[in-house]
A and B are shown apart, each in its own frame.
With several copies, the nearest count.
Chain A
């Protein structure tokens, strides 16, 4: 069901871990739903110089986390903001329909970490912080089992 690229990123995930004193940290998802993604960013001069993640979740969740870190390292904060879940999924040669929500999680994790960075640096108000993460569980509903 998974593409070779997904399996590669799952089997050998890039950038697993924590960053001590990260400039931005974001965590989305919840254990009840079965996946949590935590993203650590190192940002210098508005540019992402390092990214690491920890993920509790399915194969797609791990692979999208891994791919997401690869996609954002070297990008500016503004560029990173624009990385969509579709872009993550595409970079992985696609995901099974039932798993598309996992790429959502990656987009959200990046944004949560970026919001945290902005907040810490006074670039935004707390009010703006992304709060999407809790609806995800239900989003999945329609897509599941479309790939037979």
Chain B
């Protein structure tokens, strides 16, 4: 057993970096002023927010006036989608998204369907990519919004965002992208990507939980989600989470300065993991696009076993990862993403997502592969499905 935790779930959340925490610290007990207050203590807080806004803008190649802080990535997604839908409903009621969006997008779209909007859920291919031709065809005269995620949180597949943005721009449709998983991992440029709105969440790139941001391109017509005080240029009411916003700013700054190196590091670890797992463990399938993929995310289906059991056994060895099994998704079905790329239920249940980060090492990969092969073997030994498979060897049970 390892003497430390091997955290391989960076796509779920990340630890706040010490430098980020240091930057946040003064804003809890000392520089605690309300940014709306006109006295010194308030102005200090306001200035801290402005600086964080500049940092986010720099990371996205946006203008600071186009950045609005929110209470989470989910809030940014809800705001973007509902805000554009309600502001533009006189123009049309049609929204286009994909089948593999995060629930923050999917459930928001489903809610809007109940409110009278129509939503097209684009399918994806076995690698998780949408077809841009299909997107073009799906656009109707009454289409008011296209919302397609930049990188998928389960399988890591990266969509052709620039092309999508180009299509949207040509057709005069507003384009939102959920970049919650992408920020910090891949370079973002809202201008070259033709993006109108973009969501992000600090806790995915070593910032704190409970703070996100929405980029809203100047001129985009969007109603408010949060009504109240005049904060965020009257676009998002609530006394600002100053410490959180400062943390977000610091975290995105560090991430941007370091992104190429970080990307390379993660890719090397993923490659090593993929190679060694392929070598050691039979009856598996790697999910997600081979190349157009987040560098640190590896999603694997292990036939004959169930994901939660796998996670628990890894946890007992100090390895923390995540799964698309129903048991861990808080829903009845296994991951909608894995189903959307065409996996049968029973295979989707046996999926594992490992996502590398900052402190991951090659040793971690070796230890993971070693433990994983033992655990998979053990669970298969207990599996009635594996028993059947061995008895009927050669017959594929799942097709």
Contacts and interface: CB of A to CB of B under 8 A. Distances in A.
Q: Do chains A and B touch in the complex (CB under 8 A)?
A: yes
Interface of A: 1, 7, 10-11, 13, 16, 18, 27, 31-38, 54-59, 61-62, 98-99, 137-138, 140-141, 144-146, 148
A145 B385 contact: no
A55 B309 CA distance: 10
Contacts of B43: 1
B349 A34 contact: yes
B230 interface: yes
Given A55-B382, A145-B233, A31 B309 contact: no
Contacts of B308: 57-59
B233 A31 contact: no
B224 to A, nearest CB: 14
22 contacts: A1-B43, A7-B312, A11-B316, A32-B346, A34-B306, A34-B327, A34-B345, A37-B384, A56-B304, A56-B385, A58-B306, A58-B308, A59-B308, A62-B382, A99-B327, A138-B332, A140-B332, A145-B230, A145-B233, A145-B234, A148-B50, A148-B53
B384 A56 contact: yes
A16 B382 contact: yes
B306 A54 contact: no
A18 B382 CA distance: 9
Interface string B21-46: 00000000000000000100001001
B383 interface: yes
Contacts of B326: 33-34
A78 to B, nearest CB: 26
B372 interface: no
Nearest to A36: B384
Interface string B45-86: 010011001000000000001000000000000000000000
Question: Looking at B304, B313, B327, which has the most chain A CB atoms within 10 Å of its CB?
Answer: B327
B381 interface: yes
Give the 4 A-B residue pairs with the shortest CB-CB distance, closest first. A31-B346, A58-B308, A38-B384, A58-B327
Given A59-B308, A62-B309, A31 B385 contact: yes
Nearest to B230: A145
Chain A contact surface mostly = mixed
Nearest to B330: A145
Contacts of A16: 381-382
A54 B391 CA distance: 14
Question: Looking at B46, B304, B312, B385, which has the most chain A CB atoms within 10 Å of its CB?
Answer: B312
B232 interface: yes
- Interface residue range, chain B: 35 or more
A56 B304 CA distance: 7
Interface of B: 38, 43, 46, 49-50, 53, 65, 230, 232-234, 304-306, 308-309, 312-313, 316, 325-327, 330-332, 334, 344-346, 349, 381-387
Contacts of A27: 384
Contact of A137 (B53, B327, B332, B387): B332
B309 A36 contact: no
Contacts of A61: 306, 309
Given A13-B382, A140-B332, A144-B332, A56 B316 contact: no
Given A10-B309, A145-B234, A55 B384 contact: yes
Contacts of B346: 31-32, 34
A67 to B, nearest CB: 15
Nearest to B231: A148
Contact of A54 (B53, B344, B387): B387
Nearest to A62: B309
A100 to B, nearest CB: 13
Nearest to A39: B384
A33 B334 CA distance: 8
A3 to B, nearest CB: 12
A38 B386 CA distance: 12
B345 A32 contact: yes
Contacts of A35: 306
Contacts of A59: 308-309, 312, 327
Nearest to B326: A34
Contacts of A34: 306, 325-327, 334, 345-346, 349
Nearest to A138: B332
B235 to A, nearest CB: 10
B332 A141 contact: yes
Nearest to B383: A56
Given A31-B345, A31-B349, A56-B384, A146 B233 contact: yes
Given A1-B43, A1-B46, 10 more contacts: A10-B312, A32-B345, A33-B326, A54-B382, A56-B304, A58-B309, A144-B332, A145-B230, A145-B330, A148-B53
Contacts of A138: 332
A144 B330 contact: yes
A71 B160 CA distance: 56
Contacts of B53: 148
Contacts of A98: 330
